Amino acid sequence: MFSPFGWFYDQRRRFFGRYSLDDPRPIAREAPYTFHLPSEAALNALAPDDLVKLVFRSEPPGRKWDAERMWVTIVEISPEGLVGELANTPFDMPQLKVGQRVAFQRHHVIDVQWADPDQAPEPDEERQVWDRCMVDNHVVDGDARVGYLYREEPDLAQEGDRYPDSGWRIRADLTGLDEADVEARGPTYIAIGKVLNKDDSWLHLLDEPVGSAFLRDPESGLFVPVERSADEES
């Protein structure tokens, strides 16, 4: 349905709109296990004709999204920065068009497609943890740390799931939390990496086998092996 307001808004953005580039480094610091940036070696190896992905933020905001991730082909590199040409058609940023020149810095890059893959540096050995687990929302929300975890035979995956169930079941340390709030916020089934972003104190246990169980010692803060309860094993 035609909307005069929407048409005038888009025209205003087309002729007077601007854009900025997001700095992805704060996001990477907040989510180190699920948001990985190219290494310093990769950024230093960038060359003309390489494709780099940047996050463009619309000013004023788009009607659906404020930002879009788009590819740019590098055409110039200098000590002051890099210049490329937009390789994507923006979905909702009329102030940008394919082929438009874009100036940016290396730290703006969130991904790279190499024109000559043989020139790409060896990737860092990073572990993106996308297998699923069941975890209390208090851990995900960041107001409680992991208190107890065990690994059972995976049984939550559905046909067609992209990532499998890891079998990990993670419970929060509920010390000091309001009982009503604990009951109101149950568990959720998400990527292990999202749990690690909030509390990675159990990272060293990730490859422990099915049947393992660990409880955080309240004095040392370390996880110690324990026997699983009959309820968990049933």
Q: What pLDDT does 135 receive?
A: 97
> What's the whole-number average pLDDT of the chain?
89
49 close to 115: Cβ distance less than 8 angstroms: yes
Through-space distance between the first and last CA atoms of the chain, rounded to whole angstroms: 56
27-34 average pLDDT score: 94
Q: What pLDDT does 178 receive?
A: 75
Q: What pLDDT does 174 receive?
A: 86
For the entire predicted model, the pTM comes to 0.78
pLDDT of 234 above 50 = no
Task: Quote the CA–CA distance of 145 and 192 in Å, as a whole number.
Answer: 14
State residue 196 phi and psi, 5-degree precision: -65, -30
| CA count, 13 A, side-chain hemisphere, 148 | 10
Burial class from Cβ neighbours inside 10 Å (0-12, 13-18, 19+) for residue 7 reads: exposed
Tens digits of residue pLDDT in 180-212: 777 778 899 999 999 999 999 999 999 999 999
- The domain locations on the chain are 4-116, 132-233
Structure tokens that stand for 231 in this block: 């309820």
pLDDT of 16 above 70 = no
pLDDT of 85 above 90 = yes
Task: Quote the CA–CA distance of 218 and 3 in Å, as a whole number.
Answer: 60
Among 96, 16, 11, smallest CA distance to 54 is for 96
Task: Quote the CA–CA distance of 120 and 47 in Å, as a whole number.
Answer: 10
Tens digits of residue pLDDT in 137-189: 999 999 899 999 999 999 998 888 999 999 999 999 988 877 777 777 889 99
Q: What pLDDT does 165 receive?
A: 96
Q: What pLDDT does 48 receive?
A: 97
pLDDT of 123 above 60 = yes
Give 136's strand partners: 187
43 close to 63: Cβ distance less than 8 angstroms: no
Structure tokens that stand for 37 in this block: 């940036």
Task: Quote the CA–CA distance of 174 and 145 in Å, as a whole number.
Answer: 8
DSSP string, 126-188: -----SEEEEEHHHHTTSS-EEEEEE-------TT-SS-EEEEEEEE--TT--HHHHHHS-EE
pLDDT of 4 above 60 = no
Question: What region does 49 belong to: left with phi over 0, alpha with psi -120 to 50, or beta?
Answer: left
- 3-state SS assignment for residue 123: coil
Q: What pLDDT does 94 receive?
A: 86
